[in-house]
Amino acid sequence: MDFTSAGKTLVYPTNYDPADTPVMDPLFNSTDLGTTFARIAQSLTTQLRNITITMMEGSTQRFVIHVQVKWIFLTFPILLTVIGSVYVVLTIAESVKMKMPVWKGNTLSTLLFGFDQEIQQYMREILFLHYGKLMNRVDE
Summarised one tens digit per residue, pLDDT across range 22-35 is: 667 777 777 888 88
DSSP character string of 10-28? EE--SS--GGG-TTTHHHH
Q: Using CB atoms within 10 A of its CB, is residue 100 exposed (0-12), middle (13-18) or buried (19+)?
A: middle
Euclidean distance between CA atoms 25 and 19, whole angstroms: 7
Euclidean distance between CA atoms 49 and 42, whole angstroms: 11
Residue 113's nearest CA partner among 85, 103, 105 is 103
Euclidean distance between CA atoms 126 and 11, whole angstroms: 96
pLDDT tens for each residue of the chain, 140 residues long? 444 555 565 555 566 665 666 667 777 777 888 888 898 889 888 888 888 777 778 888 899 999 999 999 999 999 999 999 999 999 888 888 887 766 666 666 666 666 778 877 887 788 777 766 545 554 44
The sign of the CA dihedral 14, 17, 20, 22 is positive
- pLDDT at res. 85: 96
- pLDDT at res. 2: 46
Euclidean distance between CA atoms 68 and 89, whole angstroms: 33
**Residue 135 zone, left/alpha/beta (φ > 0; ψ -120 to 50; rest):** beta
Q: Which helix (H) or strand (E) holds 108?
A: helix 108-113
**Residue 122 zone, left/alpha/beta (φ > 0; ψ -120 to 50; rest):** alpha
